């Protein structure tokens, strides 16, 4: 008696959506697995995947042994075609490289000439820009020097005042943390951080 393969088994095994749709369209919820049915849909479904995902280890080993001659025949039959394909691709690539080499060299030359012309045309403008901005930066630095100095002095004074105002609180914080650490280190479970100790 032939075993049935169900759509749910394929879902559980992680079959791709297109294979599930095709199975459902052809067989509904299940199909009796026969050699005739399998061969009829050999070009539609991936039976290597099915063998890997649906067969037990012994059945998978038997399947691999049974399909080894088919794989060897396939490899032998396709070796000539694969070599011919590789040769055709290599010839096409060589022809492409040869055909495009001249165009690429011409493009590179045209770009180099255009860049040289651009650099030559823009050199006076670039020099004028550099000169104008140098003057503007010098004037800006001169105009803002006093303001920068006053700003630096104000920041230094504010920082000093802040440090003086917070020094006592910072020291008290440090002492409280040290106090709590000492108690914790010595196993005291009822630690309270004493202020300023």
Question: Tens digit of pLDDT for each residue in 117-159?
Answer: 999 999 999 999 988 899 898 888 888 888 888 888 898 888 8
CA distance 41 to 18: 14
pTM of the shown model: 0.44
Question: Using CA of residue 123, residue 124, residue 129, residue 131, what is the dihedral sign?
Answer: positive
pLDDT, tens digit, for every residue of 172-184? 776 776 756 665 6
The answer to whether residue 56 scores a pLDDT higher than 80 is: yes
**What is the pLDDT at residue 115?**
93
Q: Which residue has the higher pLDDT, 186 or 36?
A: 36
The answer to whether residue 114 scores a pLDDT higher than 80 is: yes
CA distance 57 to 54: 10
- pLDDT (mean) for 34-50: 90
**What is the pLDDT at residue 189?**
58
Q: In percent, how much of the chain has pLDDT > 90?
A: 31
The residue to which tokens 């004028």 are assigned: 128
**What is the pLDDT at residue 77?**
83
Angstrom CA distances, 108 to 40, 94, 98, 112, 121, stand at 58, 20, 16, 6, 20
- Here the contacts of 61-70 (C-beta below 8 Å, separation 24 or greater) are none
Q: How many other C-beta atoms are found inside a 10 Å radius of the C-beta of residue 81?
A: 9
The answer to whether residue 18 scores a pLDDT higher than 90 is: yes
CA distance 46 to 1: 24
The answer to whether residue 30 scores a pLDDT higher than 90 is: yes
**What is the pLDDT at residue 110?**
92
């Amino acid at each position: 008696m032939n075993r049935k393969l169900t759509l749910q088994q394929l879902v559980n095994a992680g079959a791709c959506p297109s294979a599930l749709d095709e199975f459902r369209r052809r067989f509904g919820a299940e199909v009796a697995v026969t050699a005739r049915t399998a061969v009829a849909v050999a070009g539609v479904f991936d039976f290597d995947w099915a063998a890997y995902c649906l067969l037990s280890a012994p059945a998978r080993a038997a399947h691999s042994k049974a399909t080894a001659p088919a794989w060897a025949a396939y490899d032998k039959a396709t070796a000539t075609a694969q070599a011919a394909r590789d040769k055709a691709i290599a010839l096409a690539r060589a022809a492409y490289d040869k055909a495009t080499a001249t165009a690429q060299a011409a493009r590179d030359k045209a770009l180099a000439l255009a860049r040289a012309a651009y650099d030559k045309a823009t050199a006076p403008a670039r020099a004028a820009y550099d000169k104008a901005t140098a003057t503007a930066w010098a004037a800006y630095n001169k105009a803002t020097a006093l303001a920068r100095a006053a700003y630096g002095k104000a920041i230094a004074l504010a920082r000093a005042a802040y440090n003086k105002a917070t020094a006592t609180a910072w020291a008290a914080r440090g002492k409280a943390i040290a106090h709590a650490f000492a108690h914790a280190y010595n196993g005291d479970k009822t630690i309270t951080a004493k202020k300023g100790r």
